A and B are shown apart, each in its own frame.
Chain A
Amino acid sequence: QKEVEQDPGPLSVPEGAIVSLNCTYSNSAFQYFMWYRQYSRKGPELLMYTYSSGNKEDGRFTAQVDKSSKYISLFIRDSQPSDSATYLCAMMKGGSEKLVFGKGTKLTVNP
């Protein structure tokens, strides 16, 4: 079983839709949870991070962590064509230097 599982999609939605992106993980030692956005042929850009369980909101983006289920989510409200990218989840144990990434979900938002 991989440490981090992420559905690669692709996911195609109409403009204005609510998008839900998810990852599951197997290592209960993970404490830091991140979401990166990566446009084609570019470096990943950190969108949000969460420490331990709970929700975090930033504009149209909401990150949720459920440690009891080992499940994290990223919600995008009022999705825009500019949100079209690959979204990578990543996680890290406390005191570690190693980020463990999911494979990424490719999202297309159609005008």
Chain B
Amino acid sequence: DGGITQSPKYLFRKEGQNVTLSCEQNLNHDAMYWYRQDPGQGLRLIYYSQIVNDFQKGDIAEGYSVSREKKESFPLTVTSAQKNPTAFYLCASRLAGDQETQYFGPGTRLLVL
């Protein structure tokens, strides 16, 4: 059963805490992405990675970090430097050569306690 999985579904962060959101895909896709969605807003790109061990900043990378040690995994860390982390976080992936089709995971909702 191929697809993109994100965990956890809900995540609570205390002030000053770093938290990591998981994204795994078994589609053998090359590129992976992290987006943030706020209520009434479109999706905004945080980071993306086209190949293993390489990633680029998106439009709102400040306060976030990523790694891409394996092709199928692209975890996102929300650091304490991100002052407004409450949002819906979406991971996506794409096959190389298939530029127009990004497939999204089910999302992680992050809330600050």
| Chain A residues at the B interface, C-beta cutoff of 8 Å | 4, 6, 8, 32, 34, 36, 41-46, 49, 51, 88, 90, 92, 94, 97-104
Contact = CB atoms under 8 A, between A and B. Distances in A.
A44 B40 contact: no
Interface of B: 4, 6, 31, 33, 40-45, 48, 50, 56, 58-59, 88, 90, 99-107, 109
A79 to B, nearest CB: 23
Nearest to A94: B99
Main secondary structure of the interface of B (DSSP, over half): strand
B105 A97 contact: no
Contacts of B48: 97-98
Contact of A101 (B42, B99, B106): B42
A88 B43 contact: yes
